[in-house]
Amino acid sequence: MHVTHLSLADFRSYARIEVALGPGVSVFVGANGQGKTNLVEAVGYLATLGSHRVSSDAPLVRAGAERAVVRAAVTQGERSQLVEIELNPGRANRARVNRSSQVRPRDVLGIVRTVLFAPEDLALVKGDPGERRRFLDELVTARVPRMAGVRSDYDRVLRQRNTLLKSAAMARRHGGRGMDLSTLDVWDQHLARVGAEVLAQRADLVSALGPLADKAYGDVAPGGGPVGLEYRSSAAAAVEPGAAAADPGAAAPAGTAGLREQLYEQLIAALASVRAQEIERGVTLVGPHRDDLVLKLGELPAKGYASHGESWSFALALRLASYELLRAEGNEPVLVLDDVFAELDVRRRERLAELVAPGEQVLVTAAVDDDVPGVLAGTRFSVADGAVERL
C-alpha cells in the first residue's frame, strides 16, 4: 500500500498542509526543527493511533488549537480509501473512512500500515520492557487489526481488576475481614481469557519474527550475530520458576484454540499462585502487561551487553524483520526512515538504504541531503517555515 495524499490541519507545527505523494522514495529535507518528523509522525499516527515520540495526544495538536485532523488517501492495488482522524485531547477522537459516517478510531487500523525507523528505536534494545511490548503489540495489530480491540479490552479488565485489588489491599490494612474474593475469581477469568488471546498472538509473532530478525541482523552487520528473540512470560515464571523463557508457541501450533486454552490455564494458575502478594500490593502481578521480549545476541541478552553499534544493528534488524514479515503476508507497509542515516556509520547506512530502496513507498527525512545514500534518490521535498514543497 502507499499514501497518495496527506493533509494535516493543526497537527504539531502545521496549521494546514496538503502533500501529494507517489510510490517509491520521497525524501524530506530541511533544517532541524522545521517539521520533518512532524510530517511522518502523522502518517505513523494513522497506522498506530499513537506517536513514536510521545505517549499522549496533547502535544500533537498545534499549540493554541483545539483539535488536529490527519487525513490520508491510500492506495492498495486497485483499491483507494480515504482515512481521517480528528484528535481531541481529553475527549474521544473521531474517525472516518471514505467520508462515511463515523467509525471508531480503531476501525481505521490496518488501512495505513507503517514500519517506522527512528532514533528512538535504540530504546527497543536499551529501554524498559514496555518499549518491547509496544513494539510487539503494534506489529500484532498491523498483522491482525482486530487485536486492537482485544488489547483495549485487556487494558480495561486490567484496570478494573487493579481497582478491586487496591480496595482489597485497603480493606486488609484497615483490619477489615477482607472482601468477598469470589468477585476476584470472576476478574481472573476475564483477565485470563483476554490475556491468553494477547499472548497467543505475541507468541505467533515472535516465532515468525525470530528467523527474519536473525537474517536482517546479518544483512546490516555482516559477520555479526546470530541473534534470537525469546518471549519472557510472567505467568510461566510464576507457575514454573526457571521456565520463564519457555516458548508458548512451541507446545501447540500458534494461533490455535489449543494454544489459547493452554495459555488461559497457565494464566489462571499463575494468578492463583500470586494472589496473596497481589492483595498485599494492590496490583496485578502476572499477565501480558508484565512480560518482556528478550533480545539475544549470541547467548547474551543485548540489553546490558551489546555495544552501541550492535544495539543499533539489532534495532534496525527488528524493523527490517517487521517489514519482511508484513510484506510476506501481503500487507506491504509504508517504510518511514526518520532521521536515521545521521545516526549510522557509512557502512550501515549503505546497507540499510539498499534493503529498503525497493519498498513500495519509502518516506525519508534528513537534515543533510548528503547523509541520504544515493540509492534512495527519489522525489525531493523541502520542509521549511511550516510548508512542504516539492523540489
Ligand X SMILES: Nc1ncnc2c1ncn2[C@@H]1O[C@H](COP(=O)(O)OP(=O)(O)O)[C@@H](O)[C@H]1O
Q: What is the contact surface with Mg ion in residues (CB under 5 A)?
A: 37, 339
Q: Which does 12 bind (CB under 5 to 8 A by kind): ligand X, Mg ion, none?
A: ligand X
Q: Which does 313 bind (CB under 5 to 8 A by kind): ligand X, Mg ion, none?
A: none
Q: From the CB of 34, what's the least distance to ligand X, in Å? A: 4
Rg over alpha carbons for the chain, rounded to the nearest Å, is 22
Residue 97: exposed, middle, or buried by beta-carbon count in 10 A (0-12, 13-18, 19+)?
A: middle
Which of 362, 324, 290, 237 is CA-nearest to residue 130? 290
Q: Which does 13 bind (CB under 5 to 8 A by kind): ligand X, Mg ion, none?
A: ligand X
Look at strands 379-384 and 24-29 and give their pairing: parallel
Nearest residue to Mg ion by CB is: 37
Is-contact 167 153, C-beta < 8 A? no
Beta-bridge mates of residue 83: 72, 97
Beta-bridge mates of residue 11: 14, 61
Q: From the CB of 7, what's the least distance to ligand X, in Å? A: 17
The string of DSSP letters for 348-389 reads HHHHHHHHHTTSSEEEEEESSGGGS-GGG--EEEEEETTEEE
Residue 349 in the binding site for ligand X (CB under 6 A): no
Stretch that binds ligand X, among 61-69, 83-91, 311-319, 343-351 (CB under 6 A): 61-69
Q: Which is nearer to ligand X, 45 or 231 (CB)?
A: 45
Stretch that binds ligand X, among 29-37, 110-118, 146-154, 326-334 (CB under 6 A): 29-37
Q: From the CB of 65, what's the least distance to ligand X, in Å? A: 8
Residue 141 in the binding site for ligand X (CB under 6 A): no
Residue 208 to residue 224: CA distance in whole angstroms: 21
Q: Which is nearer to ligand X, 38 or 313 (CB)?
A: 38
Task: Give the contacts of 202 (CB within 8 A, at least 6 positions apart).
Answer: 136, 137, 140, 231, 288, 291
Q: Which does 101 bind (CB under 5 to 8 A by kind): ligand X, Mg ion, none?
A: none
Q: From the CB of 49, what's the least distance to Mg ion, in Å? A: 21
* Grid cell in block for residue 120: 528512538
Q: From the CB of 43, what's the least distance to ligand X, in Å? A: 12
Q: Which is nearer to ligand X, 59 or 226 (CB)?
A: 59
Count CA atoms within 13 Å of residue 247 on its CB side.
16
In the range 31-50, which residues lie near ligand X by CB under 6 A?
32-38
Query: E strand or H helix at 47, and its extent?
Result: helix 36-48
Q: From the CB of 119, what's the least distance to ligand X, in Å? A: 10
Which residues would be at the binding site for ligand X (CB under 6 A)?
12-13, 30, 32-38, 59, 61-63
